[in-house]
Amino acid sequence: MRVDPARFQSFGGMRVVVTGAGGMLGRAVVEAARLRGHDVLAGTRAELDITVEAVVRPILLEWRPDVVVNCAAYTDVDGAQSDAAGAEAVNATGAGLVAGAAAEAGAPIVHVSTDYVFDGSKDGPWLESDPTGPLGVYGETKLAGEHAVARANADHAIVRTAWLYGAGGRNFVDTMLGLGARLEEVSVVTDQIGCPTWTGHLASALVDLAERPQATGIHHIAGSGSCSWNELAREVFDQAGLDCRVMGSTTAEFQRPAARPANSVLGSERDDAIVLPPWRDGLAAYLATRVTA
């Protein structure tokens, strides 16, 4: 399927292709890039299916972007356990196809990965050089995607992030807001910790990297600080003014198809690390956008 040339809006900046532009993060990246004055080709799955080389390669070779930001992903962690082929097609094979086509077009790639490439056993934040060890199919396919991107395009920035929420997609914050509006009490696990990350903050960081093609390699970028899912739920209710009690529970009490890392906290050892605002600030910013939307 060909993309309408009108989708490349002319603002006079870099030519940026964003894959997965219909998703929660992709939408935010498109908006952030356009606010910076870049010309953005927003490729949704229907228009730019990254699993089909006959679609990806012609589009990138025709448009010759200055940079590609790959936000396309199979993100159903539990679903991936029973659909390994589907997850592999998008997260690994597709990521490699995009990276290779970008390289052929002379463009670097910014590729989004995940904290799920780690097993969660470390006592302390995970750094870029720490050994990986995914616990399930989703993490395995995302790690394979990192390797595919690195092989296909030397000019790559791979961004691992965690606990994403934002407009335009299913996420924990919206789930809690819905539950808190109709229930007096919810039970949320206390034994999984991570870095809640608002897509608005992450999107700006991804555009930063798109503007800095020399910043290659792996980057850990997530909301500053850390908390448990239980603490995040409490903060959601506090900031939203919802009167809902948050009870504690354990992961063992909520068996799910895919195992979750107990510790998903990301840190960075890079001298040029991009540091996002504190996670509570990200939550406040997101809630403000929901109020004004």
* pLDDT tens over the chain, length 293 residues: 344 544 444 445 899 999 999 999 999 999 999 999 999 999 999 999 999 999 999 999 999 999 999 999 999 999 999 999 999 999 999 999 999 999 999 999 999 999 999 999 999 999 999 999 999 999 999 999 999 999 999 999 999 999 999 998 889 999 999 999 999 999 999 999 999 999 999 999 999 999 998 999 999 999 999 999 999 999 999 999 999 999 999 999 988 999 999 999 999 999 999 999 999 999 999 999 986 55
What Cα–Cα distance (Å) separates residue 181 from each residue in 79, 170, 189, 286, 289? 28, 17, 20, 17, 18
DSSP labels, the chain: -PPPGGGS---SS-EEEEETTTSHHHHHHHHHHHHTT-EEEEE-TTT--TT-HHHHHHHHHHH--SEEEE------HHHHHH-HHHHHIIIIIIHHHHHHHHHHTT--EEEEEEGGGS-S--SSPBPTTSPP--SSHHHHHHHHHHHHHHHH-SSEEEEEE-SEE-TTS--HHHHHHHHHHH-SEEEEESS-EE--EEHHHHHHHHHHHHT-TT--EEEE---BS-EEHHHHHHHHHHHHT---EEEEE-GGGS--SS---SB--B----TT---PPBHHHHHHHHHHHHHH-
Structural domain that includes position 123: 5-171+196-224+265-277
Active-site residue flag, 116: no
pLDDT of residue 213: 87
Please tell me the distance from the alpha carbon of residue 260 to that of residue 253, in angstroms, as a whole number.
Answer: 13
22 located within any domain? yes
pLDDT of residue 9: 46
259 located within any domain? no
Please tell me the distance from the alpha carbon of residue 205 to that of residue 29, in angstroms, as a whole number.
Answer: 9
233 located within any domain? no
Please tell me the distance from the alpha carbon of residue 224 to that of residue 280, in angstroms, as a whole number.
Answer: 9
Task: Report the chain's terminal Cα–Cα distance, integer Å.
Answer: 33
Q: Residues of 6-25 as b/e, b for ≥16 C-beta within 10 angstroms?
A: ebbeeeeebbbbbbbbbbbb
Q: Model's pTM, two decimal places? A: 0.94
232 located within any domain? no
Which residue is listed with tokens 């082929």?
Answer: 85
231 located within any domain? no
Task: Work out how many domains the chain is built from and give that number.
Answer: 1
Single-letter residue type at 176: M
Please tell me the distance from the alpha carbon of residue 52 to that of residue 94, in angstroms, as a whole number.
Answer: 7
pLDDT of residue 291: 66
Please tell me the distance from the alpha carbon of residue 31 to that of residue 171, in angstroms, as a whole number.
Answer: 19
234 located within any domain? no
CATH number of the domain enclosing 59: 3.40.50.720
Which residue is listed with tokens 């603002």?
Answer: 11
116, 138, 165, 286: the catalytic one is: 138
180 located within any domain? no
125 located within any domain? yes
pLDDT of residue 292: 59
**∠ at Cα 49 (43, 52), nearest 5°?**
140
